[in-house]
């Protein structure tokens, strides 16, 4: 394979025009070296073969690499013309590769700056949320929940691993887009949604005022970023129920940690009782009240005096009463939630 074909193949393979593909620092340096090497080689060779000054030789080299070719300086010697043929072919491939790399790097740097600015704004918005909801999953069910949340004016954060699904969900919370979509689906009207769908995920999030996080919510760090310790609730619509369970467990553990940090002595008391070696010390228990139960017919005060437990709640006819009055008489069918081993 010739040098020209090799570089053209390399150029296509790297897809430098695709600004979504990040250029490394080494690739940028390599591009600059290619360009400088071309300029130096052309300048010195033209000056030596044609007797041009270094300035004229540099000028001829640059217009050759950039394919401008004004024609005011042309090689006259046979050696110079042969060099010009090979140099022009190399300049088209190597020079094009270098300029394309530099242009792509500049575009990508600009996109990274813009993306970082959008991220700072999103995180500031999330950090300011209080008593919001965290929606894990941007599938069809998550989209419907997001629509209802938005209509109700509920503050929420959406988490998903797929940027396309996130964008689709956020678009459906945009009244203008949603109305046009309804016209298309229900009334078979020809509508132009390109103005909406051409926007980036960050632009859509900014327009609708709903922050998002990109990633798998099984990662507890994402839940922390979403403000789980300040949230009123979490909804997960992940396809795999194992992931849903992991998300819920992770959220509950983080909420407990946050509660312990906010109220450390409560946490210390709970951990000291639950880690005690005494039998049934500091454990929550469920007691079903039956006709033959020794608790049947006792008041809440009697239960505390006889069994040394604190009754936290009683479920009667499907309703929890927390805490129950001391003079309540336990009936058959009641379910008592008690803290065992209370002194």
Decide: 64 and 84 in contact? Cβ < 8 Å: yes
Return the CATH number at 331. Answer: 3.30.70.1450
Residues 182 and 223 in one domain: yes
pLDDT of residue 204: 94
pLDDT of residue 2: 40
Cα–Cα dist 340/286, whole Å: 10
Cα–Cα dist 298/173, whole Å: 55
Residues 136 and 255 in one domain: yes
Q: Give all strands of the β-sheet with 319-321 in edge-to-edge order.
A: 284-288, 335-339, 310-316, 319-321
Domain of 325 in residue numbering reads as: 279-339
pLDDT of residue 86: 82
The full DSSP string for 104-137 is: HHHHHHHHHHHHHHHHHHHHHHHHT--S-EEEE-
- 269 found inside a domain: no
Residues 15 and 34 in one domain: yes
pLDDT of residue 20: 39
How many domains does the structure of the chain reveal?
A: 3
Q: What is the pLDDT along the chain (343 residues), one digit of tens a residue?
A: 344 344 434 443 444 444 434 455 677 777 778 788 888 988 898 888 888 889 988 888 888 877 776 777 788 888 888 888 888 877 777 767 777 777 777 788 888 888 899 999 999 999 999 999 999 999 999 999 999 999 899 999 999 999 999 999 999 999 888 777 777 666 666 777 788 888 999 999 999 999 999 999 888 889 989 999 899 999 999 888 888 888 888 887 776 666 656 666 666 666 666 555 455 455 678 899 998 889 999 999 999 988 888 888 999 988 889 889 999 999 999 999 988 765 5
- 138 found inside a domain: yes
Residues 210 and 173 in one domain: yes
Location of structure tokens 């609730």: 233
């Amino acid at each position: 394979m010739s040098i020209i074909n090799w570089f053209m193949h390399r150029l296509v393979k790297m897809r430098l025009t695709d600004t979504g593909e990040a250029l490394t620092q080494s690739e940028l340096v390599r591009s600059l070296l290619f360009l400088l090497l071309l300029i130096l080689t052309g300048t010195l060779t033209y000056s030596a073969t044609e007797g041009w000054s270094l300035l004229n030789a540099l000028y001829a080299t640059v217009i050759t690499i950039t394919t401008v070719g004004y024609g005011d300086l042309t090689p006259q010697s046979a050696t110079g013309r042969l060099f010009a043929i090979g140099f022009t072919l190399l300049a088209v491939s190597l020079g094009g590769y270098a300029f394309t790399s530099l242009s792509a790097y500049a575009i990508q740097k600009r996109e990274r700056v813009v993306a970082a600015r959008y991220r700072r704004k999103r995180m500031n918005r999330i950090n300011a949320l209080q008593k919001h909801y965290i929606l894990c999953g941007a599938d069809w069910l998550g989209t419907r929940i997001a629509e209802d949340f938005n209509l109700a004016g509920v503050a929420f954060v959406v988490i998903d691993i797929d940027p396309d699904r996130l964008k689709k969900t956020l678009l459906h919370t945009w009244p203008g887009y949603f109305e046009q979509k309804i016209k298309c689906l229900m009334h078979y009207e020809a509508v132009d949604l390109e103005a909406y769908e051409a926007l980036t995920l960050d632009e859509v999030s900014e327009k609708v005022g709903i922050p998002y996080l990109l990633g798998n919510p099984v990662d507890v760090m994402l839940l922390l970023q979403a403000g789980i310790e300040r949230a009123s609730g979490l909804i997960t619509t992940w396809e795999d129920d194992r992931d849903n369970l992991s998300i819920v467990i992770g959220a509950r553990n983080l909420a407990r940690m946050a509660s312990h940090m906010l109220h450390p002595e409560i946490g210390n008391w709970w951990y000291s009782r639950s880690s005690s070696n005494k039998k049934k010390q500091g454990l929550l228990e469920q007691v079903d009240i039956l006709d033959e139960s020794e608790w049947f017919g006792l008041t809440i005060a009697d239960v505390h005096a006889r069994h040394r437990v604190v009754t936290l709640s009683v479920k009667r006819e499907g309703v929890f009463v927390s805490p129950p009055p001391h003079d309540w008489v336990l009936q058959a069918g009641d379910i008592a939630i008690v803290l065992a081993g209370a002194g």
